[in-house]
């Protein structure tokens, strides 16, 4: 039988910090771990996943743009993956893939535990309706945010996510063109890919969305998060948070699912954060 190993699937995926994060978790937990990056296009994803299982793959993380495609590969889904309509964590058992989505739990844990944000009652704007947005929306509602307004450049996707959440009095969609007339929010979450590549134009957002209590959160980290967080600073948002902490916390959820242990996330978060903070101080 092939040796068991783990991987992160994405396209592209060379930038992923997941191998470093899971390697640190494994070392601290005394677990021998083989964790790799696998670049798979949407067209090749299911074939690549089959090869991965045949070669000994027993667990995988899934990132952009494959999270929604991963749903179809699963025989079972957790409730949070079903609600999200997207999978970021796969576990192989009894010859089948089982899907979970740890993004929302990772985001809420980062915001509430690491950054001490009280999410309850916050009027919240969710920018985007793809796999990342679908992963965090149910968790934000469960964490107690007030009104959740979903805006996407493709309005049909925003409508679909709003319908899937099943809370019409609390979660609803609006048109991107209406952003300037939506009023202000206590929490703004950017779940779009804007700024991630030359093919994704930067967001153009009105400052009327913010007030002096607003927390601005980008699910991206590194260079991709710079444009939105710069907008948030210019708009006077009280708090600006990138997606690095969420990345670490969702990885910890996956690690616990696969290995039965929840790792301490603070050491690897501090290690990853240090060079970014130094770079920000220099610039």
Residues noted as catalytic? 67
C-alpha dihedral, 76 to 81 to 85 to 90, nearest 10°: -60
Would you say 135 is a known binding-site residue?
no
Would you say 130 is a known binding-site residue?
yes
Would you say 141 is a known binding-site residue?
no
Token duo for residue 182: 């939506």
**What is the chain's alpha carbon radius of gyration, rounded to the nearest angstrom?**
18
Q: Which of 168, 180, 75, 89 is nearest to 135 (CA)?
A: 89
Give 125's contacts (C-beta < 8 A, 6+ positions apart).
149, 151, 182, 185, 187, 188, 189, 209
Would you say 178 is a known binding-site residue?
no
Would you say 129 is a known binding-site residue?
yes
Would you say 197 is a known binding-site residue?
no
Would you say 17 is a known binding-site residue?
yes
φ/ψ (deg, to 5) at 77 = -130, 140
Would you say 221 is a known binding-site residue?
yes
Would you say 250 is a known binding-site residue?
yes
φ/ψ (deg, to 5) at 190 = -90, 110
- Residues 174 and 150: beta-carbon distance below 8 Å: yes
Would you say 24 is a known binding-site residue?
no
- Cα angle 139, 98, 130 (rounded to 5 degrees) comes to 45
Binding residues: 16-18, 63, 79, 88, 103, 128-132, 219, 221, 243, 250
Binding residues for shikimate: 16-18, 63, 88, 103, 221, 250
Binding residues for NADP(+): 79, 128-132, 219, 243
């Amino acid at each position: 039988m092939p040796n068991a190993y783990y991987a992160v699937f994405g396209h592209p995926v060379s930038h992923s910090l997941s191998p470093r994060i899971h390697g640190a978790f494994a070392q601290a937990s005394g677990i021998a771990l083989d964790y790799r990056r696998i670049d798979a296009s949407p067209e090749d994803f299911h074939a690549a996943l089959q090869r991965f299982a045949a070669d000994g793959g027993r667990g995988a993380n899934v990132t952009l743009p494959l999270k929604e495609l991963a749903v179809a590969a699963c025989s079972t889904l957790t409730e949070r993956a079903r609600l999200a309509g997207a999978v970021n964590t796969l576990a192989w058992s009894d010859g089948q893939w089982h899907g979970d989505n740890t993004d929302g739990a990772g985001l809420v844990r980062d915001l509430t535990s690491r950054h001490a944000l009280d999410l309850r009652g916050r009027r919240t704007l969710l920018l985007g309706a793809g796999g990342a947005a679908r992963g965090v929306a149910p968790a934000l509602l469960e964490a107690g945010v007030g009104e959740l307004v979903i805006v996407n450049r493709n309005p049909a996707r925003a409508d679909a996510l709003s319908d899937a959440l099943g809370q019409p009095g609390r979660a609803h969609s609006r048109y991107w063109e209406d952003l300037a007339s939506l009023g202000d929010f206590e929490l703004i979450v950017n779940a779009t890919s804007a700024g991630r590549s030359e093919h994704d134009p930067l967001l153009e957002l009105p400052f009327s969305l913010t007030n002096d209590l607003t927390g601005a959160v980008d699910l991206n980290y590194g260079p991709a998060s710079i444009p939105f967080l710069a907008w948030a600073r210019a708009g006077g948002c009280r708090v600006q948070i990138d997606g690095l902490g969420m990345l670490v916390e969702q990885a910890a959820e996956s690690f616990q699912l696969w290995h039965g242990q929840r790792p301490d996330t603070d050491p690897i978060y501090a290690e990853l954060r240090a060079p970014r903070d130094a770079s920000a101080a220099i610039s």
